[in-house]
């Protein structure tokens, strides 16, 4: 049976185990010259599907739009407000609960979404019986693997480009891959002009160092570790 929720028939859904669901959340935004605008959704969708196969979960339709304030100056970016994203995700989580989910794993592919997703997870879980995990896939799992594989990671950099080469290499225009050495502040600063300066090329790191092989190794580590964490969470919650 398919792991994609939207492909299930009525008969399938009546027979399916709905206790664990995955919700990929991403963005439509510029990623240098070389990566597709849907990069931040393609990656979490791939990871969610592969992890669902390992743990026996179902994958909900992905959310393609996210909060992209830092990249608004670049053509191709769609910036959705934190409030709209939070409300939309909250409605989906409540409907997942109503349909029988006990644990929803939000696989997030875009850093701008993180505050809204954590807020929403706490709000919904506090008003229902649903358990929610929020995972920023590129930084919350397989941390040591990422560190060992990539010299110049970043937004559309070596690591993200390697992942998309492994997931959808036909969408990558590697001949236009570039690099951008940026200086990050020592603490988190919310400032529009600073963010625009950091992401002036919609790229940080060095995409020219990317390879499909490194992407495959990283993704395998991400999926394996995420599956372990989800199964352990399910055990603690008494689901599996």
Contacts of residue 176, Cβ cutoff 8 Å, sequence gap at least 6: 32, 33, 34
Q: Calculate the average pLDDT of the chain.
A: 96
Give domain 5-237's CATH superfamily: Creatininase (3.40.50.10310)
Encode pLDDT of 123-138 as tens digits: 999 999 999 999 999 9
List, edge to edge, every strand of the sheet that includes 58-59.
58-59, 20-25, 103-108, 131-136
| pLDDT given for residue 74 in this prediction | 96
Encode pLDDT of 68-126 as tens digits: 999 999 999 999 999 999 999 999 999 999 999 999 999 999 999 999 999 999 999 99
Number of H helices, E strands in the chain: 9, 6
Indicate whether 219 pLDDT > 80: yes
Bridge partner list, 72: none
Residue 59 DSSP SS3: strand
């Amino acid at each position: 049976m398919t792991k994609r929720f939207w492909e299930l028939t009525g008969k399938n859904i009546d027979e399916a185990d709905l206790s664990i669901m995955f919700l990929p959340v991403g963005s439509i935004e510029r990623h240098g010259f070389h990566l597709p605008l849907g990069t931040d959704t393609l990656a979490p969708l791939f990871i969610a599907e592969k992890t669902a196969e390992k743990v026996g979960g179902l994958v909900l339709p992905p959310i393609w739009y996210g909060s992209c304030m830092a990249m608004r100056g670049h053509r191709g970016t769609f910036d959705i407000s934190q409030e709209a994203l939070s409300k939309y995700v909250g409605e989906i989580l409540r409907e997942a609960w109503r349909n029988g989910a006990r644990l929803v794993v939000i696989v997030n592919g875009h850093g701008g979404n993180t505050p809204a997703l954590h807020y929403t997870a706490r709000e919904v879980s506090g008003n229902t019986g649903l358990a929610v995990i929020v995972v920023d896939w590129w930084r919350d799992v397989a941390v040591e693997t990422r560190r060992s594989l990539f010299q110049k990671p970043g937004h559309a950099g070596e690591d993200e480009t390697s992942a998309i080469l492994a997931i959808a290499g036909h969408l990558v225009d590697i001949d236009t891959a570039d690099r951008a050495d940026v200086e990050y502040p020592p603490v988190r600063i919310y400032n529009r002009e600073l963010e625009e300066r950091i992401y002036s090329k919609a790229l940080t790191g060095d995409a020219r160092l990317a390879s499909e092989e490194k992407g495959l190794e990283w993704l395998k580590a991400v999926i394996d570790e995420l599956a372990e964490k989800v199964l352990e969470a399910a055990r603690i919650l008494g689901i599996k």
